[in-house]
Structure 1
Amino acid sequence: MSDVGTGTGKVVVNRAMSLDGFIAGPGHAMDWIFTHLTSDTFPEVMAATGAMLIGRGTYEVGRRMAADQDDAYDGGAQFVLTHSPPDEPDPAVTFLTCDIEEAVATARRAAGGKNLEILGTDVAAQCLRRGLVDEILVYVLPVLLGDGVRLTPPGLGRIELEPFATTRSGAVTMLRFRVRKEPGSSGS
Structure 2
Amino acid sequence: MSDTSGTGKVVVNRAMSLDGFIAGPGHAMGWIPEHLTAADVPEVMAATGAMLVGRGTYEVARGMGQKDYDGGPQFILTHRPPDEPDPSVTFLTCGLEEAVATARRAAGGANLEVLGADVAAQCLKAGLVDEILVYVLPVILGDGVRFAPPGLGRIDLEPYSSTSSGNVTTLRFRVPKPAQRSS
Q: 1:130-182: per-residue Cα shift (whole Å, max 9, x none)?
A: 00000000000000000000000001001110000112121001100000113
Change (3 A) 1:177 1:184: closer
Residue 76 (structure 2) aligns with: 80
The yes-or-no answer on 1:164 pairing with 2:160 is: yes
Gaps of 5+ in 1: 1-6
Q: Is the 1:42–1:169 contact (alpha carbons within 8 Å) kept by the matching residues of 2? A: no
2:113 alignment partner, SS class: strand
Q: How far, CA to CA, are the matches of 1:8 and 1:106 in structure 2?
A: 13
Structure 1 residues 1-188: aligned runs within 5 Å = 8-66=7-65, 69=66, 72-183=68-179
Q: String of CA shifts for 1:39-82, please: whole Å, max 9, x gaps.
A: 1112100110000000100000010001xx5x600000000000
Q: Quote the offset at 1:90 in angstroms.
A: 0.6
What's the CA shift string for 1:81-112, capped at 9, x where partnerless?
Answer: 00010011111100000010000000000000
Partner Cα separation in structure 1 for residue 170 and residue 52 of structure 2: 21
TM-score normalised by the chain length of structure 2: 0.93
For the residue of structure 1 that corresponds to 2:61, the secondary structure is: helix
One-letter amino acid of the structure 1 residue matched with residue 148 of structure 2: T
Does the CA contact (< 8 Å) of 1:51 and 1:108 recur in 2?
Answer: yes
Distance, in Å, in 2 between the alignment partners of 1:41 and 1:167 is: 13
SS at match of 1:118: strand
CA RMSD of aligned residues (A): 1.4
Any stretches of 5+ residues in structure 2 without a counterpart? Answer: 1-5
* Counterpart in the other structure of 1:4: none
Q: Give the TM-score of the pair, scaled to structure 1.
A: 0.91
CA distance in 2, matches of 1:109, 1:23: 27
Shift of 1:183: 2.1
Q: Is the 8 A contact 1:54 1:78 kept in 2?
A: yes
